[in-house]
Structure 1
Amino acid sequence: MRTAIVTASYAPDFERCKLLCETIDRFVTGYTRHYILVEHRDMALFRQLEGPRRIIVDENDLLPGWIKPFPDPLSFGRKRIWLSPRTMPLRGWHVQQFRRIAIASHADEDAFFYVDSDVAFLRPFDCASNWHGDTLRLFRRDAELLRPVADDQRIWSEQAGRLLGIEPVSPVGHDYISTLIAWRRDALLSMCGHIEKLSSRHWIAAIGRERRFSECMIYGRYADEVLMAKGHYHDSAEFCRIYWVEPAPTEEEFQAFVEAMTPEQVAIGIQSFIGFDTARIRKLVNG
Structure 2
Amino acid sequence: MTKLAVVTPSFGPDAELFADLHASVLEYTSDDTVHHVIVPPRDKKLFARYAGPRCRVWTEPELLPRRYARVPRSNLWVNRLRPWPPIRGWVIQQALKLSATARIDADAVLIADSDIVLVRPVDAAAFRTGGQLCLHRAEHAVHPGMTRHVRWHQVARDLLGLPAAQPPPLHDYVSSLTFWDPDVVRSMRTRIGQATGRHWLDAFTSRLHISEFILYGVYVDEVHAVGDPPAANTALCHNYWDRTPLDQDAALAFADRLNPEAIGMMISAKSGTPLAVRQAAVARCAEVAGR
TM-score (norm 2): 0.88
5 Å-filtered alignment, 1:239-258, equals 239-258=236-255
- Does structure 1 residue 61 correspond to structure 2 residue 62? yes
Q: 1:140 aligns with which of 131, 137, 142?
A: 137
Paired with 1:197 and 1:232, the residues of 2 have a C-alpha distance of: 23
Q: 1:156 aligns with which of 152, 156, 159?
A: 152
5 Å-filtered alignment, 1:1-287, equals 2-29=3-30, 32-71=33-72, 77=73, 79-85=74-80, 86=82, 88-132=85-129, 134-145=131-142, 147=143, 149-170=145-166, 173-229=170-226, 233-286=230-283
The SS at the match of 2:282 is helix
Q: CA deviation at 1:7?
A: 0.9
The SS at the match of 1:174 is strand
Q: CA deviation at 1:239?
A: 1.3
Paired with 2:31 and 2:101, the residues of 1 have a C-alpha distance of: 19
8 Å contact kept, 2:144–2:150? no
Q: CA deviation at 1:204?
A: 1.5
CA 50–279 in structure 1, closer or farther in 2 if over 3 Å, else same: farther
Q: Which residue identity does 2:54 align to in structure 1?
A: R
8 Å contact kept, 1:239–1:265? yes
8 Å contact kept, 2:3–2:124? no
Paired with 1:230 and 1:36, the residues of 2 have a C-alpha distance of: 35
Paired with 1:282 and 1:51, the residues of 2 have a C-alpha distance of: 25
Q: Which residue identity does 2:155 align to in structure 1?
A: Q
| CA RMSD, Structure 1 to Structure 2 (Å) | 2.2
CA 234–170 in structure 1, closer or farther in 2 if over 3 Å, else same: farther
8 Å contact kept, 1:29–1:127? no
The SS at the match of 2:172 is coil
Q: CA deviation at 1:28?
A: 3.0
Structure 1: unaligned runs, 5 residues or longer: 72-76
Percent of pairs with identical residues:
30
The SS at the match of 1:238 is coil
Q: Which residue identity does 2:75 align to in structure 1?
A: R
The SS at the match of 2:138 is coil
Q: Which residue identity does 1:47 align to in structure 2?
A: A
CA 97–31 in structure 1, closer or farther in 2 if over 3 Å, else same: farther
What residue number does 1:74 align with? none
Larger deviation, residues 130-139 vs 240-249: 130-139
Q: CA deviation at 1:39?
A: 2.1
Structure 2: unaligned runs, 5 residues or longer: 285-291
